[in-house]
Structure 1
């Protein structure tokens, strides 16, 4: 791991301390984009592929600018071009095929793909998306990629001896994609592995996948790993061996009940701490978010802390998602100023305390 975080500090940043602010990835799609998709899928509508591409471009630009207006240091396009985190990639990987939707919970369906042949890299998955977003953005752009373990775990395996071998082959493809993204200018890549939280005993497989993913990637490229809510005590401290710069963890949703897991042994990587709950359709106050940020300072010093939502916010009302981001940035900047002024004590070990 290398110190590649400072490159994302905005030139106009006023405070000496710097808490990097970003988002996990997904964001609510504008209503008109969903209507445009319906038109594109309607054979009787006069709405062709060019119209659909223009609609996605417009949405990506709109949400990127919305992230910048909220003040985020590193932005994404809200994954406006992606339908679902596994389907999107499986549709672009040779060897996958689709057999129809599978019911996963309630009235929700997931078009769970099958791996019918050895997976192969065909065409770039995200480079065009990244280049477009970077062109319209004034801030650095992060690229979220669904990780190989989740791509394997959330698919039917009909071609490999076991899931691990499939995951390793997929990791090699992810490495190839990241190399192309780096060539295009990307310097912040986030690997999403929600399946790790549900099957934590496989952390060794995820570790091997990550070794393959980062092979040959320059040190100035920041690699993060997002792991959704689960029993983190079953993967900590083993995850500290993973070759990533930053761990993005969902702790606000559990009211930080697992925070102590990461205090012993010491957390020596960067921590991207969820400080707003992606599952609650209410905007947390700046004061509440500041308290949450200070919980992160119990685990790592400010120079290792990234501030973000718990998870993707695509299921929230758009105005709520924006309000959470805006308040999150305000809270981070206020905590920075209080750190500069010596009003927040960050001891080497133990709880953070604010001066009275």
Structure 2
């Protein structure tokens, strides 16, 4: 049976990133080595995005992305192109459970501001043109909360409170430009919320940081067009099939789930690291949809369909079935490295999500 939801998030949805095809990896390496031009790289990207869009539609998805093919990192490639920001190579990368990432980060070198020439605008415009009326276009960007780290602020502001109004304004203008281009479904990827939820902060500090995160996102969404759907994906790290954080949503749920004015939450629930469904009780009834990330993007092995159905049923103790959706817990390639599975396994995972969702909400 086909989708019944008119508005996103959809019963069968996805987080966004896709494995980079070998031809695209080759072209990017050649570009960085000075062997091909930016125009030649762009042509390869465009052709591979066209192919990825077709494959997503063939999988039965009503929502498609560009796979984040135009970026190396899910967050920094966007962040470094806001005015006042720059990318740089630090002494070390991020520590994940079993490895350290390649070193790359973002820092402010001036006051942050909206960039009318941000390269993501052209990427979004081309994606809208490629998809046409065949599916709903979804575009993903890091949450403004990703900037709330002292290393990123880099002494340009005395504290987070002074910084908050500028990042809110920069994102508000950015979102309105995405809307003008034709984007009607935007996702904010937020690792910061996972940090707050799982880190050993004193209770009052944790409460302040969670409230700040909600205040910033709600400030960004103030005055947004009514027909623009915006969701938050709470990410726990996704690098070469590895993770960064473990722990439930319990400590932030009363603040974030109850008060962040997004249209949906994409929540990772693919293994025991994410805790129980109990924090979902703070989701307002009839409010944001909850997209259960029950299908892992970290391996190619398919889940048991009946087990997934049982997990969805378990979640209905806290959120009505009509308010729930299904997706992978994260993207398949949050960085250009990609997770450890094949492209065909990736497409099979997405087909599995569609088939399972259709059977649950038939």
TM-score interval for Structure 1 and Structure 2 normalised by the shorter chain: 0.7 to 0.9
CA distance in 1, matches of 2:75, 2:8: 29
Whose Rg is larger? 1
Is 1:247 the counterpart of 2:240? The answer is no
Cα gap change, 1:100/1:331 in structure 2, threshold over 3 Å: closer, same or farther? same
CA distance in 2, matches of 1:272, 1:279: 18
CA distance in 2, matches of 1:253, 1:112: 28
Aligned to 1:40: 31
Is 1:207 the counterpart of 2:214? The answer is yes
Identify which of 328, 334, 341 aligns with 2:353.
Answer: 328
CA distance in 2, matches of 1:107, 1:147: 23
CA distance in 1, matches of 2:278, 2:173: 37
1:301-320 correspondence runs (5 A): 301-314=320-333, 315-317=339-341, 318-320=343-345
Secondary structure of the equivalent of 1:108? coil
- Offset at 1:223? 1.3
Aligned to 1:72: 61
- Offset at 1:234? 0.8
What TM-score, normalized to structure 1? 0.84
CA distance in 1, matches of 2:234, 2:260: 13
CA distance in 1, matches of 2:283, 2:175: 31
CA distance in 2, matches of 1:70, 1:249: 22
Secondary structure of the equivalent of 1:223? strand
CA contact (8 A) 2:249 2:274 kept: no
Secondary structure of the equivalent of 2:137? coil
1:1-356 correspondence runs (5 A): 6-7=6-7, 20-43=11-34, 45=35, 47-101=36-90, 102-105=92-95, 106-122=99-115, 123-137=117-131, 138-153=134-149, 155=152, 157-200=154-197, 201=206, 202-229=209-236, 230-239=247-256, 240-254=258-272, 257-263=275-281, 268-314=287-333, 315-317=339-341, 318-337=343-362
- Report the number of matched residues: 322
CA distance in 1, matches of 2:124, 2:275: 36
CA distance in 1, matches of 2:233, 2:283: 20
CA distance in 1, matches of 2:210, 2:332: 26
Q: Aligned-residue CA RMSD in angstroms? A: 2.2
- Offset at 1:125? 4.4
- Offset at 1:156? 5.0
Long gaps (5+) in structure 2:
198-205, 237-246, 334-338
Cα gap change, 1:169/1:264 in structure 2, threshold over 3 Å: closer, same or farther? closer
CA distance in 2, matches of 1:7, 1:299: 22
Aligned to 2:241: none
CA contact (8 A) 1:253 1:310 kept: no
Cα gap change, 1:265/1:84 in structure 2, threshold over 3 Å: closer, same or farther? closer
CA contact (8 A) 1:246 1:272 kept: yes
CA distance in 2, matches of 1:80, 1:167: 30
CA distance in 2, matches of 1:158, 1:56: 37
Cα gap change, 1:256/1:208 in structure 2, threshold over 3 Å: closer, same or farther? closer
Secondary structure of the equivalent of 2:111? strand
> 1:202-258: per-residue Cα shift (whole Å, max 9, x none)?
111111111221122122211111112443111112111111111111112227641
> 1:283-312: per-residue Cα shift (whole Å, max 9, x none)?
223333333333343332233122111111
